[in-house]
Each structure stands twice: as C-alpha cells, then as structure tokens.
Structure 1
C-alpha cells in the first residue's frame, strides 16, 4: 500500500496516546452514532479528523488529559463520545512543579557507535558551513532598498549569467528589516538587533557579508562593530549610503564589491565532515493535532541521533512550550539550567501582563481548525521536537550556541522571528514541521519541511520535503521515521536542495525580534 494512503486497512479509527488520557484522536471524520469498539464508546455528534473525542464522562471543572498530561479543564460537563474542543475545553491554572522536578530525568547521552558524516564546507577558521552565500545586511530599514538592489543584480532567476561562472556560490541574498532607528541607543531593543545582525555577519554559511547603512540612524555601523567585537576586512565590508553619494552610487559600490568577492567565494569544495558540526534549529508552524503525534516526535528521534553524534539541536518558541516546561526541566543537566528556563517563562508571563495579552492567545485559528484547543495541548506536542536527551543550556534570543546537545533559545512563537534568532545563534540548518502547510525558508540556512499528515502531503507536496503522515496510520514507527529524517538532514547539509530553496524562500523571512519602545 502506498505510504500516502489516508489509512492502513484495518487500522483503528482513533489514536490513543497514553493509557490515562481522557480523549482520543479521530483518524477520520466520525459521525454521530458510530460505535468505537476499541474505546467502548459511541460517538455523539460530528467529530472532525484530528480532533479529540472524550472516552469517559468528564465533570465540569475537571482536568482533561492528552499525552498523559493536563491540556485544560472542562468548561462544562462532557459526556463520553462527545467532541472536545474550544466549546467545552478551557485553560486553567495548576501546579506543574517545574522547579521541583528539575533534573529528575537527566541522564548522560551515550555516543553513537559509528560516526555519521556529511559533505560540508570548511572555512579557514575551522567552522563548517552547509551553504555558501554572499550576504547583504542592513543596519536600518532606510538602507533596505539599496541592499535589495545589490542582491537583485545577482539573482539567478532574473540574470542567470551573473553567477554563471561561480557554480559553488549558492547566491547573493539581501536580509533587510524594519528596525535600527527611533529606539533607545542604550536599550534592550538595539542590543538584541545588534546581536542578531552580528550572528548573521559571523555565520559560516556566508563566505562574505556587506553591511549597508544610511548614515544618520541610531544603529551606527561603527558602534555595532565595536559592541559586537567584529572587524571589517575582505569578508566583512560596510559603508553608508550618505557617504557613498546617494542611492545610485551606493548600489554601484555594492555591486562592484560583490563582483570582487565572487571568485574567492567560489573557491570552496565540499569534504566529508562529522555530523557534530550540525546545529539544527527546530520549528513548528501551522501546527495541527497530528504535529505532536507524528512529525514532532519523529523530529525528536532524529535530534536524539544528532546529539548522540555530538551535534546540536535548538528548541525555541517559549510561548509554545508554556505548560510543558516541566517536561524540559526534568531533563535539565543542572539546576542552574532549569532555573534559566523558568526565568524566561516568568519573563514571558510578565511581558504578556504588561502588554495586556494572554499566553493562551495561541493556538492560532489554523491550529484550532487542525484540532488544537489550548496552548497547553500545543506545547505538549511542540516539546516533542526536542527528543529525549538532556537539556544542556538555555540562551536568550540570538545568543551564540556554544554547548553541543539539546539547547533552548528564548524566542517568540512567530516562526520567522524565532528562526532568525536560531540562525543568528549559529543554526546551519532548520527543520520545520507543519500540519496546515506553512510556506517558509530561511537563508542562509536551508529549511527542511516536514508534513504531519497525509492530506497535507497530497495537497502541498511541492512545498514539503518529508511526509510523516504514515506514522498516524501505523505504517511506520516514530523511530524509523526519525532515522529517515536524520539521513535526509545529512543529505541537505551536503548540498541537496530543499523545496523552500527551489521556490526561492529565505530573504523575506529574516525578521529580528523587535523589543523596546519605538519613539
């Protein structure tokens, strides 16, 4: 039977994730009156595919469990067989003992017996790249047009001749943003922006970087270079539009600089390197109820393999681990690591309160249509991307990742902002799971897209790299799919193009986190 079939013959019509669960997940649309022998309940009303069905009577106010964990509380009495979703399931506070359980499940990770390798690009300083770009960054929104004009002169889809003699250069990309001025010169917002830009300027996937400023902005290039300990030279060049004589001359200067850089950037070759050089950012966007059952745990199994090979996985999106943070603190290597994670959770609680927001403003409309009801439920599925190894460090946004293993980076749940921080921290590849069909790429790091369900794979296969839907049908196990993902990661790191790269995604998705007041 083809792996994309909607169901394996004879497979149960529901999925139970834990013996203690109050709900099961519908594999297909269930009609009222249908008898589910495997659960001993009769369906009451229509239950859409991937949505929850109560398997026992639940009194109003009682907790509801999925994954063996609380995902919310019954907003009204729920009868066995009824659809469980936003109309009868709500958030509520409860003690998750995230601090008390710190480190309880931490265990040393056994190294892999046989070293995995990929074909990487080794830079002169020993860093390893998965791609080979020339980047054009901006200090401020005002220089975005010039930066894009420079990069456009080298677009293969418009001017294929521009890079015809440089087959080993993946492209020239402009990464622009909407910040850099009208902010406190000593404030957190500018520090975070500068740290993000510095992470990209240092990124091994860039053979060289141009930085374009306007000249009068708050984010002065000279101040950025000094604050971040950078040094200009052949591989990092910077200038201002005002000093260059205006837009036309600034574009001309940039184009000439790129042309001078191309021959050296092209003098690279891919060689076998150990998988420990991989730093993989983990993302989930357009999630559905299948995410926590298929693609996320399978990606977690792949990350367990990567960590055993000495590599690094970056779990992020702090608002989307809210309610599941106790599962991570249990695996914290030390109490200090657990405390760092809990400090970021408290920061987000205070941030939302200050902004008049609610941590449960997530899931999104698409998440809910896909069967997710509360942030607790979404978070429990999201943390599965991190696998089962110890949590070795917790970083603030865009801080450099220096410790191999599973690390957590504090980021928003908005995917472009989150992945931008991960790449700034050193991620040289992104793995992105989706159940609704997110469109995403992340230059200069390739982005690998994992579909959570067969329907998405069939509908949007041109955007997806791997289909994890067969897990829900019982056609393949999570560990076996994790092995497939890990091998695919090695191929992409070796130069195999992802679907998002083929479509040209990556430049518009550079979105640094904007913190602080805009004045």
Structure 2
C-alpha cells in the first residue's frame, strides 16, 4: 500500500510528499499530526517545525539549506523561502564498516562477455573510429555512410518513410493545413538488419569538436579520454583519423594508451591526412583497413564470465524529488551487491556530491585517498565560484520544479547511487579505474559529459536514473534508464527500461528493486536484452573541455 508521506532520516525536519497534499489537511506520521499551511505537490517537502531566518533545514540527515524567511510548521519548502547551505568538510576518521548485502542469489551467476587480452571482459564488441581533431568530421561521416548500413548496423527507416509520405502529400497538391492534419502511417519495427559480422555489435564514430585551438592540457585530456575508449573492454579495435598538425597528436594518444595498458595489443590503424594526401586515398584506405579489422573482430565470441568482471557506471539526469528515495538507493543496493561479489562501480558527477563530502571522505579506504577527494571537490567548486557560479547553482529549473530545491538536497539523493561500501579509489578526469569496489571519478554533473567520462574510465554498463526523462546513451556502453516514478515510466517507456516508481507506489522495497536491476544488468551484459538507448542508437559523446561545467 502506498504511503502518502516519507521522512527519509530520523534527524530530518522535512517530510516528503509522495502524493499531492492539500492545504488544511492534517497529516499523521509516526504518531505526530501536522496541519499543512500550504498545498504540497508530490515530490516536495513540508517543515516539521517552525524555522526562523537562517535556521537549518535538514534532509537525509545532513544540512541541505537555511530559511530565508520564517517558515511555519506544515509550510512548503521552496526557493522563495530556502537557500542552499551545506556543512564544511575536512579530513576525518576512517568509517569503513558496512553491512554487506545478501549475495546468495548472485554468487553462482555469470554473464556472457567478450574476453580481452588484458584480463578485462566487455559487454559489447565494437569497432570505433576516432578523429584526433574536429577537422576530420566530414571524413568520419563519409566512412559512416559507407559502412553502417551496408554492414547491417543501420536503424529502422520509420522516419524516412514518414518523410516520403509528406513528400507525396505535397506533390499531390495538399495545402500546409492539410499536410499538418494528415495522419501519417507509422510502421512497426520489423526485426533488425542482418549483420555481415554477427559477433561485432557495431562500428561507432566518436565525433567531437576538440583537438586543436584550445590549450595543450585540453589536448592531453582529450587524448586521455580517447585512450580510455581505445583500451575499453567493449572495443575490439580502433581506426584513427588525424589531420596531422593539430594539438592532439597521435603520439600523445599512444602515450595515454600505454599508461592504461602497457601491453596494448588491439588493432590500431592510423591514417594521417596531411601525410597521405587526398581525402579519397585517406577514406578508401581507412574503410579497407577497418573492414579487414572487422573480419578479425568477428572471431571473438562471448564466454561465461563471473559478475566480478562487471564495471557499472552510476549516473542520474533530469532528477526529481523522488530520485533520492527510489531509483538512486535502488541502484545503490545493486552497487553494494556487485562490490560484495568483487565487481566495480563508478560514482561521478562531483558537483552533485555537495553536502555529503564528509561522509564520502570518511568512507575512503585511507587518508591519502580522502585528501585527494577533498582537494578535487574544493578546487572544482572554487573554479566555479571564480567565474560567478558554484555547486549551489547546479539544480536546473526542472529539478526545482519537481522538488530539488537546493544542490545539497539533490546531492544527498544523488550520492545514494553509490551505496554504502568503502571508497577504494578517487580518480581525476579522464583516469581509468583499476581497483574493484566503489570508485569516485571527478566529472561534471552534465549528463552526457559525465557518461562519456565514466565509460572512458572503464564502465561496461551504465545505470542512469531519471525523474523527468532523458534519452542519454553512449556509443559503446549500454546505458540502462531507470525512472524514479511510475507516471514517467508510463509516459516515456520508449526510452526508459526499468520502473523504480514501484518503490514509491509501495509495490516493492529498495532491496528487491536493487536485485531486479542487477538481474536486468546481467541480461544486458550478456546481449540477450537490448536497452532502449542501444536500440535507438543514442550514441551521445561529449568530451569535457576542462573548465566550469556543472
């Protein structure tokens, strides 16, 4: 049975509305009555006690704001009466004890993965084409046109069919009004094209707008990111297109690859335009060599693999007031199960860890790791403040509209994705994960920049929670979407894979949902289930140009 309200932590002085509540209603929670002095929309909060100006507002057991004006008991918490506030943080004592979840259902489970020479195991088998600089974008597009459809990796033609219908209406003399009112036939997708190389999941083209014109550190970071993709377990081989004179040199890419895999043995084919000469020779050679590489990549087959080889990236976007009490803690439980089994998880989006720094710092396995986390957080925020921003400006209008009034509230809920296990390592962008367990990776809160970075760090599956709906995907790693509420799932189930609104609806608990999610992850990792982001070809790829991006 669905509850109407929820108090997340015993120390909180706010209560969350799980359904719309009316002004004047008397809400009883844990034997205490609260008369509402405002309408409280679902996902929003009301105060359990009067708050004077500058008095603390607490949620998830941490400081999340201060009153800007008097807020009465039973009053709505919102931006007009609440400002962001969070506790300072520093080097504390280690708090590494945690209660490991029951893993009995998964101890003997495996997934069907692609083994790599370095000991990692992929959930996919892709060939990637990398441009070293934006100047090669057109050549990448020519290669895409030549290879994708012909090899059987093209997507459904539904939208082209609809365009043809519009063309026919226009040619038949229909007016603009008649065309706009016409009901166009939408053909259902019928299967997928037959692949020439059935063991290769696709050829992916990682277009970007960097590589030259920026700072040398931009070029180094870009090469590090691209090296993360080249060495990724989901990648069988790489074709590189280079102009020749750009800042992001192929030699830097090779240095970054060697940092991540000193014994790198995957095919790496480099084509430099200024050395080769004509575009025709460049593209013809790249297509021919890529095709030859695909023949070899097709010889790799899936094999039973222990779950300890999974690397799950944790992401949220379009978050709402239910994110921190449904989908995020659910994948947090998934994370704890996987860590207990010897697997790896990645928690990123540092602007969305504001207010829970002390907890995460204290969970770091040693002081050196904690110091690095503290430093990265403080430097990042100070850079943002130097240009007139700060982590406190992270919540979007959509976040606020749906109950995330301060960045500290958003962050405390976002951190739930990482579960409760110790933090084994803290990495800066775009470093690669090397230790099993919970890793923190410094990225922006921007959905695509962060997902792009998590994959470069080694994520072979990404769990992406959303309360408002977002289509984010990745070229080489399956991104599984999870809704925080049932209304969203029913509205946008063409892009969302799993509904965690069942928790809000009282149909299941967080632990049950977390186990259900891991079972789905295993199917996706084995190639037996295709998440919507992959089915739709949502190949988002945006490198972080190291600067202020929240």
Structure 1 and Structure 2 fold alike (TM over 0.5): yes
SS at structure 1 position matched to 2:363: coil
- Tell me the alpha carbon deviations over residues 5-40 of structure 1, each in whole angstroms, 9 at most, x when there is no partner: xxx4xx332122122221111112222122213351
Q: Look up the match of 2:203.
A: 172
Aligned mates of 2:156, 2:283 — CA distance in 1: 17
**Contact 1:106–1:333 (8 Å) recurs in 2:** no
Shift of 1:268: 2.1
**Contact 1:232–1:238 (8 Å) recurs in 2:** no
Match status 1:71 vs 2:100: no
Decide whether aligned partners of structure 1 residues 31 and 357 sit closer, same or farther in structure 2, where only a CA change above 3 A counts. same
Shift of 1:516: 6.5
Q: Look up the match of 2:437.
A: 405
Equivalent pairs, count: 502
Deviates more, 1:113-122 or 1:413-422: 113-122
Q: Look up the match of 2:44.
A: 51
Aligned mates of 1:54, 1:194 — CA distance in 2: 49
Decide whether aligned partners of structure 1 residues 163 and 202 sit closer, same or farther in structure 2, where only a CA change above 3 A counts. farther
Decide whether aligned partners of structure 1 residues 281 and 60 sit closer, same or farther in structure 2, where only a CA change above 3 A counts. same
Q: Look up the match of 1:194.
A: 223
Aligned mates of 1:246, 1:416 — CA distance in 2: 34
Q: Look up the match of 1:35.
A: 26
Q: Look up the match of 1:5.
A: none
2:465 equivalent among 422, 433, 448: 433
Q: Look up the match of 1:216.
A: 245
Decide whether aligned partners of structure 1 residues 22 and 388 sit closer, same or farther in structure 2, where only a CA change above 3 A counts. same
Q: Look up the match of 2:537.
A: 504
Match status 1:121 vs 2:114: yes
Shift of 1:403: 0.6
**Contact 1:18–1:67 (8 Å) recurs in 2:** yes
- Tell me the alpha carbon deviations over residues 439-497 of structure 1, each in whole angstroms, 9 at most, x when there is no partner: 11112111111110111111101111110001112221101111111111111111121
Shift of 1:219: 1.3
1:311-322 equivalent positions in 2, closer than 5 A: 311-322=343-354
Q: Look up the match of 2:276.
A: 244
Q: Look up the match of 1:351.
A: 383
Alignment RMSD (CA, Å): 2.2
Match status 1:99 vs 2:78: no
Decide whether aligned partners of structure 1 residues 373 and 142 sit closer, same or farther in structure 2, where only a CA change above 3 A counts. same
1:484 equivalent among 516, 519, 523: 516
Q: Look up the match of 2:495.
A: 463
Q: Look up the match of 2:394.
A: 362
Match status 1:138 vs 2:171: no
Decide whether aligned partners of structure 1 residues 79 and 118 sit closer, same or farther in structure 2, where only a CA change above 3 A counts. same
Match status 1:328 vs 2:399: no
Shift of 1:241: 2.3
Aligned mates of 2:501, 2:156 — CA distance in 1: 39
Shift of 1:264: 1.4
Match status 1:284 vs 2:276: no
Q: Look up the match of 2:17.
A: 26
Decide whether aligned partners of structure 1 residues 234 and 344 sit closer, same or farther in structure 2, where only a CA change above 3 A counts. closer
- Tell me the alpha carbon deviations over residues 178-230 of structure 1, each in whole angstroms, 9 at most, x when there is no partner: 11112333xx3222111111111111211111011112211121343245437
Structure 2, gaps ≥5 residues long: 158-191
- Tell me the alpha carbon deviations over residues 273-300 of structure 1, each in whole angstroms, 9 at most, x when there is no partner: 1111111111011000100000000000
Q: Look up the match of 1:275.
A: 307
Q: Look up the match of 2:4.
A: 13
Aligned mates of 2:287, 2:467 — CA distance in 1: 41
SS at structure 1 position matched to 2:323: coil
TM-score scaled by length of structure 2: 0.87
1:300 equivalent among 306, 311, 332: 332
Aligned mates of 1:40, 1:110 — CA distance in 2: 35
Shift of 1:246: 3.2
SS at structure 2 position matched to 1:292: helix
**Contact 1:153–1:159 (8 Å) recurs in 2:** no
